Chain A
Amino acid sequence: MIPPAFEYTRPTSVEDAVRTLAERGEDAKVLAGGQSLLPLLRMRLAFPELVVDVGRIPGLRGVREEGDALVIGALTSHHDVIADPLVRRHAGLLAAAAATVADPAIRHRGTLGGSLAHADPGGDLPAVALALDAELVAAGPGGRRSVPAREFFVDFLQTALRPDELLVEVRIPKTGDHDGWGFHYEKYSRVAQAWAMVGVAALVRREDGHIAEARIGLTNMGSTPLRAFAAEEALAGVGPDGVARAAQSAAEGTRPASDPAASAEYRAQLARVLTRRSVLAAAGMG
């Protein structure tokens, strides 16, 4: 379908964008790559009065190191995230999960910041940001503030971003192979390119053949991405034989939806099975 009519503006700086959002934020939608917003507009599920196209603001693309963190510009495309040597080295989980997002054409245009700010619990990257303990940096009229991923995802398609704020970068603590970290993103969907019915992002630090620390992010197990804290606790200290039992608690505290694709019970079962698989793969115990 043809999108509803809207006004369009293309700010040339973060300050310019924030100023526009401060004036019109309640009636505006931010457009980055457009791979989530355009379908919403076309299906007439969103009716912004104003579309603020931040896609060409300079300085919001690319990856850099800052001490123990990687800093990724919000406009960095999935395609660029996947190919980036720093991401592959220090945040391999993100590269692996980004490679499963949609299809190549969408990965060319879709952005990391866009998919986090869109906050679809069925999107792959929100759960990954949770597992990585990422910090999301928002620019607003009063300057910048950093929001931990755990506080960022508030509800279905809702984030801690205020109407006058723009997500500008994502800071990810390094979790490299050299420090014993392993990762895996296990996604279950009916057909290639489909959204995850459930996805499990596993980040595991190994020590002497055991799991010293596990962080599990769950895709599509509630109205927001979730951490499987009970499973994480159960996984601490276990060896290969203990993973299956620990993974049994992966669905604790989750509230998955029932929809035509899957019942809540089926999703809970998927979460347990996929957590086992994902953790074993991440720990190199598979």
Chain B
Amino acid sequence: MRDQPGSSVTETKGSPRSRKLVVMDWIESRTGFVSFSRKNLDEPMPPGVGWWQTLGNLLMTLLIFQFVTGVALAMFYAPTPDHAHQSVAYIMDGVTMGAFIRGLHHWGSSFIVLVATLHMLRTFFWGSYKKPREMTWVIGVLIFQVILGFSFTGYLLPWDQKAYWASVVGTRIIATIPYVGEHLMVLVRGGKEVGALTLTRFYGVHVMLLPAALIVLTGIHLYLVRKHHISGPVTPRKGRPAPFFPVQLLRDAVVVLVASGLLLMLAVAFRPELGGVADPSGVTFTPRPEWYFLGLYEFLKLMPPSLEVVGTLIVPSMVTIGMLLLPWLDRVESRHPAKRGWIIDLALFMILGIGVLTLKGVLSEPPPPPKAPEAEAVLAPAPTPPSRP
């Protein structure tokens, strides 16, 4: 047994300070929370740890924001083709702060993809995934997949033209998988077409399955980060490690402050879009995915039909598997990028490729949407929803 912190109360009984100690003693003896937080605040930071090591904390903070705004949005949202678009329009124009809360959730998702990517790049170039931190990296890659899953399923929920057609194409990609593709697509869509069951399916995955997966994976990730401690710079520096509190925690707080400020400004300044309600008969609408899928989108455009499966399945799965196996593919003991040879070259090639393709996608503007009245978001006072046969 270790000593109870604060158990040696020397001050006069009943003084505010001794009362506080009694309370802390009670909390510590019943939960161990005091020593737990003390241990975490004293977590050793090797010399050289600095601003680059604030991205994980920022990512978790953004995920918490997403959780908070997501729960709030779910209280007003209806995942049915009859009412999804209508309920989002109501959130935007009928509910106090609605456009702002949806804006936080919308822009927050882009922030998360961006910060998660930076966090992974930092880990990659610092070689932090090497022994003994292989599993921390693997769990991190899985968290990244979950984040992309959130983006993909969340994109459909507003049920406007963009959402509908991006999901039609996105799920159609699954059908290009040889042999099982068609069946898999029906499973993902909940039917042959994107419809009511696709919406409930995506909603269920978005608000139940993925959050549960994210919480479990993040818990394991944090446990592993604390178990193996922060890796520090690629070449160890002289000096004593500093405790996490106060300097590194202050860096974390400053980065969170700046990023949240940017996010709040975006949410205030730019209303998230809500196009016309999903129209399966529409022929005038050109679907485009969210910006972080544009690289893949442009890549698919480059593929000749006979090689389509290369772009839809083989390359994306090889990249994912390669990322999962990275700690074992990179067998060089040194963490220094200059000494890691082909793995760094391959990564630079991929980053450049994804970057160029994404940029190409961003720059190739789609034809402007037709200025038909249906393209406007209308909040119609709906009569009884027509019962579906």
Tell whether A pairs with B.
no
List residues of chain A with CB under 8 Å of any chain B CB: none
